[in-house]
Amino acid sequence: MINSIKMRKLFIGFMALAMASVLSLTSCGSKKNSESAADSVAVSSKYPANSPVAKYGALQVKNLQLCGKDGNPVQLAGMSTMGWQWCKECYTKESVAAMLNDWNVNILRLAMYVEEGGYNTNPAEYRDMMCNLIDICGELGIYCIVDWHVLTPGNPKNEKYADAENFFRFIANKYAGADHVIYEICNEPNNCQAKDNAEKPWECTREEIVTWDVIADYANKIIPVIYGAADSVNSTHPIVIVGTPQWDQLVDACLKEGMYQGNEKDLSDPLPARDSRLKFDNVMYAFHFYAKSHNEGFEKNGKPNYYDMYSYMYDVLGELPVFCSEFGTVEAHGSGAPDFDRTDKWLIMFDGNNAGKQKVSFCNWSFSDKDETSAALKVGSCAKGDWNATTPSGEYVKKVLSVVNGGVKDSSVLKDSNKYVRK
């Protein structure tokens, strides 16, 4: 979510896997094992026949597009978890299987909060939970995103995230060569928390914001750790999703000097061009949207003070490879009535109706039964194991996934493929 109220994203509590005939993936194990790369377990390249990973294989970025092993475009569409510390009963082998078989997901984002009562409270426990979920996704043959869920503080270089390199080294070594694993190295970079008592704490000045240069410096330390693990087994470099400034909103900050959201500058003004893109082969840039909040833009004193986000992203998709690792049908804080028409508009753009003709992959926030309108399941559903007790948002997203991944024709979603066309 795009502000501090988003402190409720995901969980995962898991059962030991026993289907060794499908994929020989084991849990992270003890603290002793978790601290030694030599103890990593080789991951089988075999996935269930006809599963998404069996179909697409090791992913790659070609030009602006996410592609499968054969070089053809791939659009992944699925769900994100909520914070495991809040919704652990929602993430079991049964729930992931239901997402695959009933919801038609081909990807699950494993949102592991670092602060907010998450990883930093017990690193070994959360690392094991992450591994358990990675294993389940591998056994079922769906892709997963290992999400180092930065939120508060919003600077990935903050001392509270000092264990990032160790975490990614362990996971990358353990799952080196695993086709189904994608990495998201920092969720929603921001640093507006210093202004929590301000009237509008989300408004950052240029001096206060976590800039692209800060993010790039962090990424240039973490990505070589991940890619080094792949190199050690002569494997394709996995996809790495890198967060962008202002809660994954200023996606092309690497191409425009001084880009920021502030009160003094209209972002529609021309900005000096630059090129500080990350110099790695399979990197994608994160974008997040919440349909009720992110549409025609923000206002100041009744006048537009922000770019039209549709037009902005239309153009960005002609410049950079983008992965929408989180979206919601509601407001950015997770509440309010869903806006399905505006969600349609975004997802139609992601279907190739943009400057780069990109097929943009996306994950919905969230597969959980938390008491908020962004949740896909009704309150109490997870404890009952009822993985199809949908909220209005969940019902809509389930239909979207059946259309995008399942080939189902449904006129109630994505109603007009020409609804957003650049004029």
**Block residue for tokens 């209005």:** 392
* All residues at 6 or more sequence positions from 101 whose CB lies less than 8 Å from its CB, including other chains: none
pLDDT at 262: 46
Contact between 149 and 111 under an 8 Å Cβ cutoff? The reply is yes
pLDDT in tens, 66-124: 999 999 999 999 999 999 999 999 999 999 999 999 999 999 999 999 999 999 999 99
Dist. CA 222–CA 244, nearest whole Å: 15
Strand duo 283-290 + 299-300: pairing: unpaired
| Cα dist from 35 to 6, 28, 128, 276, whole Å | 31, 10, 12, 34
pLDDT at 271: 74
Dist. CA 407–CA 23, nearest whole Å: 27
pLDDT in tens, 326-381: 999 999 878 889 999 999 999 999 999 999 999 999 999 999 999 999 999 999 99
Contact between 87 and 81 under an 8 Å Cβ cutoff? The reply is yes
415 falls within a domain:
no
pLDDT in tens, 46-56: 899 999 999 99
Dist. CA 184–CA 281, nearest whole Å: 15
- pLDDT at 61 exceeding the cut of 90: yes
The average pLDDT across 405-419 equals 81
pLDDT at 256: 86
pLDDT in tens, 265-315: 455 566 788 999 999 999 999 999 999 887 655 444 444 444 578 888 999
* All residues at 6 or more sequence positions from 265 whose CB lies less than 8 Å from its CB, including other chains: none
Q: How confident is the model at residue 421 (pLDDT cuts 50, 70, 90)?
A: low
- pLDDT at 34 exceeding the cut of 50: no
Radius of gyration for the alpha carbons in the chain, expressed in angstroms and rounded: 20
162 falls within a domain:
yes
418 falls within a domain:
no
143 falls within a domain:
yes
pLDDT at 335: 82
- Hey, how many other C-beta atoms are within 10 angstroms of the C-beta on 65? 20
417 falls within a domain:
no
pLDDT at 33: 36
The CATH number of the domain holding residue 310 is 3.20.20.80
Look at phi and psi of residue 184 and say left if phi exceeds 0, alpha if psi is from -120 to 50, else beta: beta
422 falls within a domain:
no
- pLDDT at 250 exceeding the cut of 80: yes
Burial of 18 (0-12, 13-18, 19+ CB in 10 A): exposed
- The string over 154-177, giving b where at least 16 C-beta atoms fall within 10 Å of a residue's C-beta and e elsewhere, is bbbbbeebeebeebbbbbbbbbbb
List the domain range (segments joined by +) for residue 11.
4-404
pLDDT in tens, 118-162: 999 999 999 999 999 999 999 999 999 999 999 988 999 999 999
423 falls within a domain:
no
Taking all residues of the chain, what is their mean pLDDT, rounded to a whole number?
Answer: 84
- pLDDT at 423 exceeding the cut of 60: no
The average pLDDT across 246-275 equals 73
What is the DSSP code (8-state) at residue 109? E
pLDDT in tens, 160-174: 999 999 999 999 999
376 falls within a domain:
yes
pLDDT at 205: 62
pTM: 0.87
Work out the end-to-end distance of the chain between its first and last CA atoms, rounded to an integer number of angstroms: 30
Dist. CA 121–CA 3, nearest whole Å: 22
Dist. CA 317–CA 321, nearest whole Å: 7
Number of domains the chain is built from: 1
Residues noted as catalytic: 188, 326
| Cα dist from 308 to 187, 198, 248, 252, 405, whole Å | 23, 25, 16, 14, 29
